[in-house]
Amino acid sequence: MIVTKLWLNEFLDLSAVSTEKICATLNAIGLEVDSLSTISVPKGVVVGKVLSCEKHPDADKLNVCQVDLGSQTKQIVCGAKNVAAGQIIAAATVGADLGNGFVIKEAQLRGVESHGMICGSNEIGLPKLDDGIWVLDESLGELTLGKELSDFPALVDAVIDIELTANRGDCLSIYGVARDLSSALDIPLREVAYPTSSGENLEMELYHDSVHTALIYQEAVKNPSSNALIDVRLGLVEKYDTNVTTRLLHYATQATGVLLRAYDERCEKIEVKADEENLESVYCDGKIISRIGINQDKCEGEAIMIEASYINPDVVSRSVMGIKCEKDDLYYRSSRGSESDLIFGLDYLAKLTGSEKLATIKTKQQAKFSSSVTVSFSKINNFIGQDIAEDKVIAILEKLRFTLSRDKDLLTIDVPTFRHDIVNDQDVIEEIVRIVGIDNIVSKPFVFAEKRRFNEAYEMYQKRIHFRKRAAGAGFFEAVHYFFDNREKMEKYKLPCIADNKDVANPINNDLNTLRATLVLHMLESASTNLKHGKNAVKLFEVGRVVDRERNEHQRMAFIFTGEVEAPSVSNHGKPEMIDFMTFASKVRGIIGAFSLEVADDENLLANPYESARIMIGGKDIGFMARVHIDVEREHDLPVTYICEVDFDALVYERIIAKGYSKFPSLSRDISLVIPLSMKFSKIRGFLEENPIENVVNFYPIDIYHDDALGDKVSLTLRFILQAKEKTMDEAMITGIMDMIVARLKEKFSLEMR
C-alpha cells in the first residue's frame, strides 16, 4: 500500500509532524514501512503558457511554440503530439538541470532556435503519465506564469510504501492509514465536506446478506474530467490509467477504501444474479460483465452506472475456492477487506466529479458491526503486564472507530465491519498494544508460574494411568481391541445389543458389524490366541468404551485370567494350581480396591451360574465377576478361566488419607450361627456394618455346614478380627464383644448359636 504525506494530510492534519515521525509511528503500530522516497521538481522548471503552436517548417513531427514565461516569451521547439496553444505547461528554462547530466541549453532544431523545453511529467522527477507534455491546472495551486514548480507544495511530497499483512485490508486506503495514525498520534481526523446528494432512492434486494452493495446513477460522470493533482498522485501510488473514468474510480477507491466500478453505455439494461458457479454476477445482454468483488470488464465508454460494493472477505474467499475464474485488483482488495461505508466512497467520488444528483439502487444493508467483544479493563492490564489508563484505552479504540459501551470494569466493543479480523478480546488487546507502542511497554523478566489447571478430562486421564499401572503391577498385560464387535455372537451369548435403529449403518466387515456392549468377548479371543502360542497362563486387562442399547457410551475396565496361577517351580513340584475364584478375586481387589460380593442372577451365557457374583463398592453395584461357562471355555479351547468387568467411572480414585494403626496385637474369634437356608450372608453383613461394634475391625464367613438334623437351616461360621487401639485386649473384653454380637443378631434376626 503506497501513501503520500500530502494525501494523508487531506484526512489528517500532519503539518506539524515530520515524515520521519510518520514512518516511525507506522512501524510502531504494525504498518511496516518498506520504502520511503521524496518527489521534487528541479530548479529552473517554471509555469508557462503556450501562446501559439505552429508546425516546424522543416520537420513534420516538431512544433514551434511561443511560450509565455511571465517575465518574457521564449520560442521552444517541441516534439510532443499533444502540445497546443492555450495550454499551461511545465517549461524547463535554459540552464535547468533535469538530472543524469541533462542540462537545458540553447539549441537549433532543424534550423529553428529553441530556448528551453516543454516537459512531460517524467522528465521533471514526477511519475510518467500520458505520453507527451504534462498540462497543468489550478489543482496544483495558483498558476502564476514564471513561478518555479518546485515552489508548489503539492509537488513536494513524501511517498511511503507500506508492507501490509493480509488481515489489514482496512489500511488499503489513504483514509484507513490516516485512521490508524489518528489514534497513534492523537490527532483527530478531518471532517471532509461533500456535495449534498439528492434523488430518488429505490430499495431492491439484489444479493444475499453477506454482500452489501449499491448501484449509483450519476449524470456528471458522462463527461468525466481529471486534474493534474489527481494524475500525479495516481502515478505516485502506481494506479494511473489512460481512461479518465477509471482514474477517478481508482483515486476514490485509493482514498476511501470503498470498492468502485463503472458500467458504460452498453449496460443500460443489466441483470444481477448468480452464475453457473453460484457467484453473484452482473449480466448485460446475457453476458457476464462483472462478478461482484472478483472481476469486471473494463469500462471503455462513458460511465452511466457506478457500482460501490462491500463483501465479507471470508465469503468472497470461500466463494472462489476451487473455482477457476479470472481475478483482478478488485479481488485483491475485497478478499482482504474493504471499507463498508459505501456512501462515504460515493460522496467522495461525487466530490471529484462535481455531481449533485444521485439516483441510488441499494441492496439489503449488512450489519454495521462485524462482531461484539466484551473485555474487562483488569484483563487488558493483566494481559499487557502494565496498567494502561482506562481513558487512554477508550480514546484509542474510539479513534479506531470501535463503538464502546461501559459497565463498571467491563467494556463491550462493537467491531466495525471493516475490521473483520477482530474476533475476540485478545485481538482488541493487540490493537491497544500496537497503538500504545510495544517500545512503551516496560520490559519485565519472564516468570513462569502456571497455576494447577485440572479438569474432568485431565482427572479421567490420570485415573486411567493410575489403574493401568496397578493392573500392570499385579502381573496383568494390557489389551486393546476394536470398538466394534459381532452382533450374532453377542446375541448368541445373550449380551445386550444396541437397538436396530441405532446400529452401525455401514459396518467395515461382517465380523465387526456392531458396537461392543462388553469388553469380555474380545478378551476371550485374545486369551485363546495366546494359549495356542504356548502360554501356560494369560492375564489381560483393558480399559475401554462400550455402548448400551440406546448407544450411550460408558467406560469399563475388564480382566481375564486363564490357566495356571503361577509358573512351575520347586515349591509347587512343577505342577502349579489352576486359577480359582478366590485367587482371582484377591488379584482384582489389589487393583480396584476393596469390594464385596453378592449373589448374582444369571448374567449371560458367558458366565458359570455356580461361580458368579456381583461386585459392590459403597453399596453400589459396579459390575460382575465369574468363571467362564464351561461350554464357552471348550469353544475357545481354554482351561479354567475367570472374567471380571466393572464400571470404570465407579472405581474410587481419590487421595488416600493415612490413618493411625493400633500397636497392639489383633486376635480372632469364631461363632457358628444357625440360619435359615434362604438367608444370605449379605443381610447379616449389612446389619453389622450399619451397627458397628467397637474394636471389631473385620469379619467374614469361613464355613457353611448342612446336616439333616438342622432341617431347613444351615450352620454359618463367622470369624471376627478384634483389636483395641489403647491396650492389649483381655479375655473379659473379648467375651463381652462376642456376647454383644450374638445378642444383636438374636434380637434382629432371631438367630441362635449352634
The grid cell for 150 is 518546485
615 plus 577 within the same structural domain:
yes
The grid cell for 384 is 499487557
Residue 511's CATH number: 3.30.930.10
Boundary-marking domain end, from 319, 334, 362: 362
Q: What is the pLDDT of residue 219?
A: 46
Residue range 611-634: mean pLDDT, rounded: 92
Q: What is the pLDDT of residue 156?
A: 92
pLDDT in tens, 128-151: 988 889 999 999 999 999 999 999
Q: What is the mean pLDDT of the chain?
A: 86
Per the domain annotation, does 657 fall within a domain?
Answer: no
Structure confidence at residue 608 as a pLDDT band (50, 70, 90): very high
- Is 90 exceeded by the pLDDT of residue 545? yes
Greater pLDDT, 659 or 70? 70
Triad 693, 695, 698: Cα angle to 5°:
80
148 plus 171 within the same structural domain:
no
C-beta separation of 490 from 504 below 8 A: no
Greater pLDDT, 449 or 346? 346
Q: Which residue has the cell 462485524?
A: 370
Residue 96's CATH number: 2.40.50.140
C-beta separation of 615 from 595 below 8 A: yes
Q: Phi and psi (nearest 5°) for 283?
A: -105, 145
Per the domain annotation, does 564 fall within a domain?
Answer: yes
Q: Is the dihedral of CA 318, 321, 324, 328 positive or negative?
A: positive
pLDDT in tens, 181-198: 999 998 999 876 554 443
- CA pair distance 605, 491, nearest whole angstrom: 10
Structure confidence at residue 3 as a pLDDT band (50, 70, 90): very high
Q: What is the pLDDT of residue 361?
A: 45
- Is 60 exceeded by the pLDDT of residue 218? no
Task: State how far the alpha carbon of 732 is from the alpha carbons of 82, 86, 736, in Å.
Answer: 133, 137, 6
Q: What is the pLDDT of residue 655?
A: 77
Per the domain annotation, does 449 fall within a domain?
Answer: no
- Residue 746, SS3? helix
140 plus 166 within the same structural domain:
no
C-beta separation of 688 from 747 below 8 A: no
pLDDT in tens, 149-176: 999 999 999 999 999 988 888 899 999 9
413 plus 463 within the same structural domain:
no
Task: State how far the alpha carbon of 192 is from the alpha carbons of 17, 47, 74, 397, 466, in Å.
Answer: 20, 30, 42, 21, 71
- Is pTM beyond 0.85? Reply is no
547 plus 488 within the same structural domain:
yes
Q: Phi and psi (nearest 5°) for 171?
A: -105, 15
- Residue 152, SS3? coil
495 plus 613 within the same structural domain:
yes
The string of DSSP codes covering 70-126 is SS-EEEEEE--TT--TT-EEEEEPTT-B-STT-B---EEETTEEE-SEEPPGGGGTS
Per the domain annotation, does 339 fall within a domain?
Answer: yes
- Is 50 exceeded by the pLDDT of residue 50? yes
Among 230-244, 265-279, 469-483, 705-719, the minimum mean pLDDT is found in: 265-279
Structure confidence at residue 567 as a pLDDT band (50, 70, 90): confident
Pairing of strands 514-515, 596-599: unpaired
201 plus 343 within the same structural domain:
yes
Q: Which residues span the domain enclosing 418?
A: 376-440
Q: What is the pLDDT of residue 612?
A: 92
Triad 351, 354, 356: Cα angle to 5°:
95
Q: What is the pLDDT of residue 633?
A: 94
Contacts of 423 (CB under 8 A, 6+ apart): 371, 373, 415
Per the domain annotation, does 227 fall within a domain?
Answer: yes
Q: Is the dihedral of CA 573, 574, 578, 581 positive or negative?
A: positive
Among 116-125, 217-226, 402-411, 621-630, the minimum mean pLDDT is found in: 217-226
573 plus 461 within the same structural domain:
yes
Q: What is the pLDDT of residue 157?
A: 92
- Residue 722, SS3? strand
Strands, E assignment, 551-631: 553-563, 596-599, 607-617, 620-628
Residue range 14-21: mean pLDDT, rounded: 93
Of the candidates 308, 216, 209, the one whose C-alpha atom is nearest the C-alpha of residue 257 is: 308
Residue 340's CATH number: 3.50.40.10
Contacts of 14 (CB under 8 A, 6+ apart): 5, 8, 22, 181, 187
Greater pLDDT, 609 or 273? 609
Q: What is the pLDDT of residue 208?
A: 33
- Domains in the chain, number: 6
Greater pLDDT, 285 or 36? 36
Q: What is the pLDDT of residue 48?
A: 94
Residue range 50-54: mean pLDDT, rounded: 93
Alpha-helix runs per DSSP H in 437-554: 456-473, 487-492, 520-532
Q: Phi and psi (nearest 5°) for 510?
A: -70, -25
642 plus 676 within the same structural domain:
no
Q: What is the pLDDT of residue 285?
A: 74
- The amino acid that residue 342 corresponds to is L
CA dihedral of 588, 592, 597, 600, whole degrees rounded to 10: -80
pLDDT in tens, 285-342: 778 788 877 887 776 666 667 778 888 888 888 878 777 777 878 888 888 888 888 8
C-beta separation of 62 from 109 below 8 A: yes
207 plus 347 within the same structural domain:
yes
- Residue 233, SS3? helix
Among 66-80, 292-306, 382-396, 614-628, the minimum mean pLDDT is found in: 292-306
Q: Phi and psi (nearest 5°) for 680?
A: -100, 150
234 plus 340 within the same structural domain:
yes
